[in-house]
Structure 1
């Protein structure tokens, strides 16, 4: 695509524009997506499939590398954060950026209340384990996964492990919706990794979209790639003390919306 001034529009700009079109009027939670949304969402996934690290001017890092000049983002931690984030753009309808994980780092199991997401690996490899809640809280009919003894029932979520898969820059994007694959854990595999991430709408605690963290109590290990559609109990927890996220400058093409 070439604008009037004759310069080539970056793929990052095209992705941002398509995300805006796609998520300007998304289906309401629990509502079946219409044809227009599905077509726009498919276009967005196709664009995300094409984007590469070079398009964002990302240089793949090696094990042991630390982002230069990035201070820790948590007052109780010292040294470089295990995960950093490059902000690309944000509107009321979506946010877009890049997460960079050091070798061995993880983004713990967390949710995306009422949100859509599209994740595309830029370099390295990640293992993504996706879960869904089967009901809002423990109680009612006893599920296949037995209730953990002495558990705080109010903090439990009856859930299902949908899938565990590994993604590289050659893989298509990982996609989540408000009611499918909405909780996930992301682990760096065999070295540092980075992925581009779109969330729609953005996290907003004032509008009921806060990030919550969970721990798997019974029924499955998230590293087991053979476990699928397995009922488990998840316990809501505080942000794990070994996880915090810093920020660093985005070096790629500017996005204008």
Structure 2
């Protein structure tokens, strides 16, 4: 029932309102997660044509973006990944995120950023990159959290400002779609509250700990862009 989505949105506003300076915890996310786990593509009234299972042509966008809500507290949207396509490795600076697959399945490769003071970048890696590019390249140590498949029957996955905050999402077998809630939203405009989306690639390096990985920022990947489809789902309970 669409009421599950509406209840999820109500719970999201409640938990992300920061009333009384309350912090967001796993417990405070409980109501949101319970209702989000019940949301289906029928609740969102997704157009079956958008979910058509076929390989897109080179001229077609690999991802369709369905804008549901843009608010100062959060953004809510659906991403539709065409067969064989991906959201490149990207970050969520200072943000909480909840992702619920509503069609097909996706593989999510996840990393947690690490403190470079506690996990220093190998000097040999910094030197190799400087020689290759003719300048010092910032390197970001991260803990590799694995590559896990999520489908419609799985519960939502959660990221936080300090955990699993960088990930790459692939359509697993055919076209896939997921509902995405991010709080606070990305912000490219305000110098006081600057949260851009950055893209990364992993650099191969020998390490004593195979779960410690090293990432560098890259420009927007040329194989990733979006078209947009209209949201046709239920009205949302947005507080005034």
TM range (shorter): 0.7 to 0.9
Unmatched segments (≥5 aa) in structure 2: 131-135
One of 90, 100, 121 as aligned partner of 2:70: 90
Task: Give me the whole-angstrom Cα distance separating, in 2, the residues matched to 1:237 and 1:84.
Answer: 22
CA contact (8 A) 2:111 2:167 kept: yes
Q: For residues 103 and 114 of structure 1, do their structure 2 counterparts lie closer, same or farther at Cα, with a shift above 3 Å needed?
A: same
One of 103, 123, 130 as aligned partner of 2:110: 130
Q: For residues 64 and 202 of structure 1, do their structure 2 counterparts lie closer, same or farther at Cα, with a shift above 3 Å needed?
A: same
What pairs up with 1:36-115 in 2 under 5 angstroms?
Answer: 37-58=25-46, 59=48, 61-64=51-54, 79-115=59-95
Q: TM-score, normalised by structure 1?
A: 0.79
Q: What's the counterpart of residue 166 of structure 1? A: 149
Q: For residues 148 and 217 of structure 1, do their structure 2 counterparts lie closer, same or farther at Cα, with a shift above 3 Å needed?
A: farther
Q: What's the counterpart of residue 133 of structure 2? A: none
Deviation at 1:65, TM superposition (A): 7.0
Task: Give me the whole-angstrom Cα distance separating, in 2, the residues matched to 1:41 and 1:82.
Answer: 32
Q: Does 1:233 align with 2:211?
A: no
Runs of 4+ residues over 4 Å off in structure 1: none
One of 151, 154, 171 as aligned partner of 1:188: 171
CA contact (8 A) 2:144 2:211 kept: yes
- Structure 1 residues 166-175 or 80-89, which shifts more? 80-89
CA contact (8 A) 1:148 1:217 kept: no
Deviation at 1:15, TM superposition (A): 1.2
Task: Give me the whole-angstrom Cα distance separating, in 1, the residues matched to 2:19 and 2:199.
Answer: 25
**Superposition RMSD on alpha carbons, in Å?**
2.9
Unmatched segments (≥5 aa) in structure 1: 1-7, 67-77, 221-227
Deviation at 1:92, TM superposition (A): 1.1
1:152-194 alpha-carbon deviations (Å, 9 max, x no partner): 4433111111121000000111100000000000000111000
What pairs up with 1:194-205 in 2 under 5 angstroms?
Answer: 194-205=177-188
Task: Give me the whole-angstrom Cα distance separating, in 1, the residues matched to 2:145 and 2:20.
Answer: 22
Q: Does 1:251 align with 2:237?
A: no
Q: Does 1:215 align with 2:225?
A: no
Q: What's the counterpart of residue 25 of structure 1? A: 18
Deviation at 1:232, TM superposition (A): 1.0
Deviation at 1:64, TM superposition (A): 2.1
Q: TM-score, normalised by structure 2?
A: 0.84
Deviation at 1:122, TM superposition (A): 0.4
- Structure 1 residues 97-106 or 80-89, which shifts more? 80-89
Aligned residues: 226
Task: Give me the whole-angstrom Cα distance separating, in 2, the residues matched to 1:160 and 1:146.
Answer: 19
CA contact (8 A) 1:219 1:231 kept: no
